[in-house]
Amino acid sequence: MINTNLLKVAHKAVDASAAEGVETAVYAVGRKGSDYFRKRGYTVFEAHTDFGGDMNADRGKLVGDRVVRAFLDGSFDEVRVIYAQFVSTMTQRPVDLPLLPIKPEDTPGDEGDARKAGQEYIWEPSQEELFAVLLPLYLRNRVFMTLSEAFTSEHAARMTSMSAATENAGELISALTLQRNRERQAAITAELLDIVGGANAL
């Protein structure tokens, strides 16, 4: 169910971009997403199908670095990530989040804050050099957190499904056991009636 909801959101987002005349490509983490878009004729830029629901720093770095390189060399003008946000064990929410380019968050403030935001500062090293160093680190961290949360959501959904299946199986076993006991008791009662009937006939 969680994959179905994610694929619906991703499909809608890709179609919305295509409707605006934007050339889109899908970077898929997971076999289902990759197969889903390939079968429907969408461009799959790259796919990782061997993660197996396990996230670590090296895999986060792999995906983050690949996305940064594609953005910096002009392959992508915008990067959006669609993943399952972990709310609770019972709830996982599909989220469409812009990743690149990085935009400052709109934070309410007074006029003094606006004047401070407009001030220029002397940077050492330059802003460009800082950006070149910090962007990959930021992206790796965001990708790692996103994938970790997505895998956590997937495992939680599986755990919930298995728990529900176990409860349903237990209820079914109880119902079938009760039915079997009733049928056995009915058969025993019928045999006793036959014996009593035969004895009375003699």
User: Domain extents for the chain?
Assistant: 2-104+127-162
- Grade residue 163 by pLDDT with cuts at 50, 70 and 90: confident
Which range of 38-47, 161-170, 174-183 scores highest in mean pLDDT? It is 174-183
Task: Please state, in angstroms and rounded to a whole number, the distance separating the CA atoms of residues 151 and 104.
Answer: 28
Q: Please check the confidence at residue 181 and state whether its pLDDT lies above 70.
A: yes
Q: Please check the confidence at residue 115 and state whether its pLDDT lies above 60.
A: no
| Strands (DSSP E) found in the chain | 26-29, 44-48, 79-86, 92-100
Q: What are 60-79's pLDDT values in tens digits?
A: 888 888 888 888 788 888 88
Task: Please state, in angstroms and rounded to a whole number, the distance separating the CA atoms of residues 4 and 32.
Answer: 9
Q: Which CATH architecture has domain 2-104+127-162?
A: 3-Layer(aba) Sandwich (3.40)
Query: What's the mean pLDDT in 20-46?
Result: 86
**Run of H or E residues at 13:** helix 2-19
Q: Please check the confidence at residue 185 and state whether its pLDDT lies above 80.
A: yes
Q: Please check the confidence at residue 53 and state whether its pLDDT lies above 80.
A: no
- Grade residue 104 by pLDDT with cuts at 50, 70 and 90: low
